[in-house]
Amino acid sequence: MIAGSVAASLVLASPPARGWLESSMSAQMLLQLPLLAAIGVCSASAIPAAVRGALARWDRWGISGLLLASMTSLVWMLPRALDAAVDDVGVAAAKYATVPLLIGLPLALSWGRAGFVLRGVFLAETIATCFRLGWLYRVSPERLCSNYLLDDQQRLGDWLMVIGAALFLALMGKLLLGRFDFRTDAQAQEGRH
């Protein structure tokens, strides 16, 4: 699994893939960053149980992990950071390392520990952020990233709003009509002792 994750990261970091994924703002934010985070999510299963147990003691209710993922995401939402990741090899390396390890991985490890309320706050904030960023990209009269064109930025704004709306509808559908399994909560309760 680790090998697979490393291989996937290398594929994404290869010049052709990187060139394509960073050719537009939309591709970088909607494909590259999510794919990197997904690599982190997938590598969670490779973490040995002993390490997981140790981590769990520092991550009650998943708070630390979700906080880490949120803070890291905040950094990679800065237009300046997106620019720098294209122009500067060091920042690019930081992106390839931190998005899987500090966003994807903690999300995967902490989600199961998080209770209903924390998950709800996290999802609501994710949806709201999609709408806020989308709205900003739509109305900004200037290019926020020096490396990308204005129409690209506006298209990304549209996409973010569509994604926000889709997430919202999915969440509402789940809450209103879905099936819920509270076993994860029970596990979290056991984990406390």
Q: Closest approach of Cβ 111 to other proteins, in Å?
A: 15
Evaluate the CA torsion angle 123, 124, 129, 135 in order and state its sign: positive
What x-and-dash track marks residues 94-133 binding other proteins by CB under 8 A? ---------------------xxx--xx--xx-xx--xx-
Burial class for 131, CB neighbours closer than 10 Å (0-12, 13-18, 19+): middle
The label of the residue with tokens 């990304």 reads: 156
The Cα–Cα gap between 132 and 139 comes to 11
135 binds other proteins (CB under 8 A): yes
Which member of 3, 50, 89, 177 binds other proteins (CB under 8 A)?
Answer: 177
Site string for other proteins, 37-76 (x = CB under 8 A): -------------------xxxxxx-xx--xx--xx-xx-
> For residues 183 and 113, is the Cβ–Cβ distance under 8 A?
no
- 192 sits near other proteins (criterion: CB under 8 A): yes
Q: Write out the DSSP string of 119-130.
A: HHHHHHHHHHHH
- Site size with other proteins, rule: CB under 8 A: 56
Task: Give the SS3 label for residue 47.
Answer: coil
Binding site for other proteins (CB under 8 A): 56-61, 63-64, 67-68, 71-72, 74-75, 78-81, 83-84, 115-117, 120-121, 124-125, 127-128, 131-132, 135-136, 139-150, 168, 172, 174-180, 182, 192
